[in-house]
Structure 1
Amino acid sequence: MNRTIFTFLIAFSLIGNIGHEALASDRANDDMELVADDTSESEAISSDSEEGEHHGPAGWSVIPFVVLLLMIATGPLFYEHFWHKNYPKVAVALAAIVVGYYLFVLHNHHGPVHAFFEYFQFIALLTGLFVASGGIMIIVDKKSTPGVNIGILALGAVIANIIGTTGASMLLIRPFIRLNKNRIKAYHIIFFIFVVSNIGGSLTPIGDPPLFLGFLKGIPFFWTLSHNLLPWAFAIILLLIVFFFMDKSNKADYSFGEEIAEPSGKLGLRGTRNFIWLGVIVAAVFLDPNVFDWVPGIMYEGQKFSYIREIIMLTAAYCSYRFADKQALNGNDFSFEPIREVAFIFIGIFGTMMPALELVGAFAKSPAGVELITHNTLYWGTGMLSGFLDNAPTYVNFLTAGMAADGASINSVSDVVGYASGMFKDSIIELKAISVAAVFFGAMTYIGNGPNFMVKSIAEQVGIKMPSFFGYIIRFSIPFLVPLLVLVWLVFFYWEIL
């Protein structure tokens, strides 16, 4: 028990010390400026220029990010009319504050440019998958039972590794809602988010963005399948068992909609041509200019940013809508409001989270952070931050820290391959902890992963009353997801039973 408590304290200190480390860094920078005053004027100017490039954000700069999270949490609950009318302005304004601070105070252009391209890549993929899947209508004319619902959730957990958690979520959420029309409850949507939108995509780099970043860095494509399969199966099975008993006691409620005729038991599809566009979008994911030299990219400060694949995705989105089966669109009650909401909310998130990510990354790679590195602290550190920050850069930051603790570099493909193959002590279980946590903990909040917020928005659009930001955490994440995450940690990382 003492060892368990110690492990949790280490994990929390890994995050809690970030602010202290940032303040210490600021004091060190102040001392360096004093020393620079004693040098010649030209040396001082040179020193200031070099230092400015590497000067980190102040601790207070995370306030806009915290404010945005609080407004996302409280807006729909306490000032719903104002929030739904003004959330685009709020998100853009808070992002502009942080971007302005980086550009005009820190003179850091790389951070905002990098955040812009990350957002562009993020929203292009989500838009493509959302629109293409919106033209595919899956008809499940069966009676809603716990068994049928579990079958859909399990199917989603599998195909999330083929078309991504976003693709699987957008493809299945509408038929899942229609199937349960007269007995739909918030827990149906929440467990869909747990299983399909997050944990399901743990087995391939296509499944979730963090794993794809690892693949681009040099981790073999099938590494996640061979190492994450047991945690994936363990978590999915436990969630489906809990869902079964919850769903078993749920009776039809015809106040939500009119009573429907006896189901025929048939399955059907409309808009199958959109599978072609869906395939184009998924295939385009691999067109990375940093992997294939022949793919054009925008060079900026020695880094190549993608734009061709994003153009392909957005073009496929347009074509999939332009040539979609109109009956399929109507049957899905398709509208652009969910993707609009996600687009604006995540402008705010990508813009305001830059200081938080930079402080986390600086501490994780510092001597103090490296000292705390074990597979246990990597699991909890990566996980807890992935629930509130973008899990892709969080994954990279902790992978960088884990490799640095072994004297390896994430910028060396041979080091990454060696880290994944067990060349360094405990490197396999460390990488497994980072990979599992980044994906699993994405289900902790609505903003933990892109599909979460989109699924919530689609559910609300058809009249399902969803819990607030804090309601989601208190009513579902804490009682259902957190115990599962603790069990996964105990079985696969603390006791290492499997």
Structure 2
Amino acid sequence: MRFLRSAAAAALACLPGLSMAADIDGSRLSWAWGIPFAGILLSIALMPLLAPSFWHHHFGKVAAAWTLVFFLPFAAVFGPAVAGGSLVHALLAEYIPFIILLVALYTVAGGIFIRGNLHGSPALNVAILAIGTVLASFMGTTGASMLMIRPLIRANDNRTHKAHVVVFFIFLVSNAGGSLTPLGDPPLFLGFLKGVDFFWTVSHIFPETLFLVGSLLAIFYLLDRWYYAKEGVLPVDPTPDTRRVGFDGAVNFWLLAAVVGLVLLSGFWKTPLGFDVLGTQVGLPGLVRDAGLIAITLISLRVTPAGVYRDNQFSWGPMQEVAKLFAGIFLTIIPVIAMLKAGAQGPFGAIVSAVTRPDGQPDPAMYFWATGALSSFLDNAPTYLVFFNTAGGDPVRLMTTLAPTLAAISAGAVFMGANSYIGNAPNMMVKAVAEERGVNMPSFFGYMAWSGAVLLPLFIVMTFIWFK
């Protein structure tokens, strides 16, 4: 290990000016630096509607173009050291671990095939949504989403209208279900790493979660029953009743447990060993986790019979789409996060100041909505950290005296990730899988019309009950 650290240091010494940490002072940035990030979001929202063929073939190039629109001027203004350090930090500390975890979960969950034909009645759909919601807090929203979305789509392949089923799946399994443990969603895991007790969240926002999940399941059942009674089912079921219900590729359940174990290990294992890469600390626990996840991915591909992937209609298309688009998002978001971290002195100072009451005490309602609004379009993990630190950053005080504030931050970051397709990574993955299976999913703004009509009224009710 000492030899590797020395070799790394020697290699970095050969890059003059780039071995410095990239420290961006967000208070010096203009809001104009956020234009590339806004551009990639608008591209995701509008181009599938305005130029669907072009977008389908070139979305990766569009994401790369917006990234260059940010990085080239940024390097010219702040210098290659700051730009290079920021790029390395975004890749090594955020994007690469993020995409490695997603690939592992996507591959392992894609290697589990629930055989047999489930019939997508309203009652069965509610049961699948409820099971996926519970699983999300134990195996993560991404793992639960990738495990449950395929059998849900196949169960409803004899339904005329099924986009609403996937929309509520995103609301519940890809977001709300991850609110009870640090395993569920990245913001809560970051809180856990900052010192928040593992079971604190389940003991403090369980009523809010129960209200949101119960309300969504009830609304969905009424809506799905109306569609079912109005349209019935197709005369011919695309999935015939020829096989008993069961699991193929069940070995991947053990690999899924190993993924969860590695994520937990990286949180519990504390050691100063690691590397400094252009100012970015790459710790040994994270390296072990990522290497383990890569190994699990390769093992899953090796031990899973090809027929399981074929039956699951598994392809790398959805994963490639998410990887390319989120690469652009993670890189163009750099100045936006820096401006938020600048607090009241930054361009977003009005937002940060709005969460404090005139007497200097934090306002839980404003924390809930500010964290949630930004988590709807930004990465909800750094958004959680921004407001965690804005509220003082002391985990002991936040878990006790300021418990309502921490509950509001946690709920806003997790629940409101469902407000848009880009609010949480599983949202985009589920959308891509559903579209690949022929589901006519709502557009970016069409989805937001659903979330605005269904979720926002529930969030308003929650504000008056728990965050006032």
Aligned counterpart, 1:359: 339
Among 171, 180, 184, the alignment partner of 1:203 is 180
Q: How many residues align?
A: 429
Change (3 A) 1:389 1:78: same
Q: Distance in 2 between matches of 1:193 and 1:289?
A: 27
Deviations 1:287-340 (A, max 9, x none): 438952176454553734533312221221122112212222111100000000
- Residue identity in the other structure for 2:193: L
C-alpha contact 1:65 1:349 (8 A) present in aligned 2: yes
- Taking the TM superposition and a 5 Å limit, the aligned residue runs for 1:237-276 are 237-251=214-228, 252-254=232-234, 258=237, 261=240, 267-276=245-254
Equivalent residue, structure 2, for 1:31: none
Match status 1:277 vs 2:255: yes
Q: How many Å separate the matches in 2 of 1:385 and 1:219?
A: 22
- Secondary structure of 1:181's counterpart equals coil
> Equivalent residue for 1:215?
192
Query: Which residue matches 1:317?
Result: 297
* Aligned counterparts of 1:261 and 1:334: Cα–Cα separation in 2: 19
The Cα of 1:489 is off from its aligned counterpart by 1.4
What does residue 394 of structure 1 align with? 383
| Runs of 4+ displaced beyond 6 Å | 49-52, 365-368
Q: How does 1:39-58 map to 2 (within 5 A)?
A: 54=25, 56-58=28-30
Select 1:149's aligned residue among 125, 129, 135.
125
SS of residue paired to 2:391: helix
Deviations 1:169-216 (A, max 9, x none): 000000001111111511000000000000000000000000000000
Match of 1:416 among 391, 395, 410: 395
Separation in 2, partners of 1:253, 1:236: 27
Q: CA deviation at 1:57?
A: 2.6
- Where does residue 406 of structure 1 map in the other structure? none
Q: 1:441 and 1:453 mapped to 2: Cα distance?
A: 15
Q: Report if aligned partners of 2:179, 2:209 keep a CA contact under 8 Å in 1.
A: yes
Quick one: distance in 1 between partners of 2:321 and 2:339? 28
| Structure 2 CA distance for partners of 1:221 and 1:181, relative to 1, 3 Å | same
Q: TM-score, normalised by structure 2?
A: 0.86
Query: 2:234 & 2:344 partners in 1: Cα distance?
Result: 53
- Mapped to 1, the partners of 2:331 and 2:239 lie a distance apart of 46
1:71 deviates by 0.9
The CA distance in 2 between the partners of 1:51 and 1:82, in whole Å, is: 36
> Of the candidates 308, 314, 322, which is equivalent to residue 342 of structure 1?
322
- Give the match for residue 484 of structure 1: 458
Q: Which shows bigger deviation, 142-151 or 445-454?
A: 142-151
Find the partner of 2:145 among 162, 165, 169.
169
Q: SS where residue 138 of structure 1 aligns?
A: strand
Q: Which moved more, 1:94-103 or 1:172-181?
A: 94-103
The reply on whether 1:382 has 2:371 as its aligned counterpart is yes
| 1:286 counterpart SS class | helix
Aligned position for 1:62: 34
The CA distance in 2 between the partners of 1:386 and 1:237, in whole Å, is 22
1:104 is displaced (CA, Å) by 3.5
CA distances 1:370-408 after superposition (whole Å, capped 9, x unpaired): 5742111111100000000000000000111011xxxxx
Please give the per-residue CA displacement for 1:100-155, whole angstroms capped at 9, x wherever unaligned.
34434223244322211201111111111001100001235343221111111111
Indicate conservation of the 8 Å contact 1:137/1:332, yes or no: yes
Alpha carbons of structure 1 residues 417 and 467: separation in structure 2 relative to 1, 3 Å: same
Provide the residue aligned with 2:169 in structure 1. Answer: 192
Q: 1:213 to 1:394 in 2, by over 3 A?
A: same
CA distance in 1, matches of 2:333, 2:447: 21
1:144 counterpart SS class:
coil
Summarize the Cα distance change of 1:149–1:140 in structure 2 as closer, same or farther, 3 Å threshold.
farther
Counterparts in 2 of 1:223 and 1:299: CA distance versus 1, 3 Å: farther
Q: 1:63 deviation in Å?
A: 0.8
Q: Is the 8 A contact 1:134 1:332 kept in 2?
A: yes
- For structure 2, the residue ranges without an aligned partner over 5 or more in a row are 1-19, 357-362
SS in 2 for 1:230: helix
Structure 1: stretches of 5+ with no match in the other structure: 1-48, 404-409
Partner Cα distance (2:341, 2:140) in 1: 26
Normalising to structure 1: TM-score of the pair? 0.81
Change (3 A) 1:151 1:295: farther
From 43, 48, 63, the counterpart of 1:71: 43
Following superposition, the deviation at residue 358 of structure 1 comes to 1.6
Q: Quick check: 2:355–2:364 contact (8 Å CA) kept in 1?
A: no
Which deviates more, 339-348 or 357-366? 357-366
Q: For residues 329 and 131 of structure 2, what CA distance do their matches in structure 1 show?
A: 31
Letter in 1 for 2:445: F
Supply the RMSD in Å over aligned alpha carbons. 2.4
2: distance between equivalents of 1:193 and 1:155? Answer: 13
Alignment check: 8 A CA contact 2:112 2:308 kept: yes
Q: Deviations over 1:68-94 (max 9, x none)?
A: 111101111110111111111111121
| Aligned residue in 2 for 1:444 | 419
Aligned to 1:178: 154
- 1:127–1:365: structure 2 CA closer, same or farther, 3 Å change rule? farther
Relative to structure 1, is the Cα distance of residues 355 and 326 closer, same or farther in structure 2, using a 3 angstrom cutoff? Answer: same
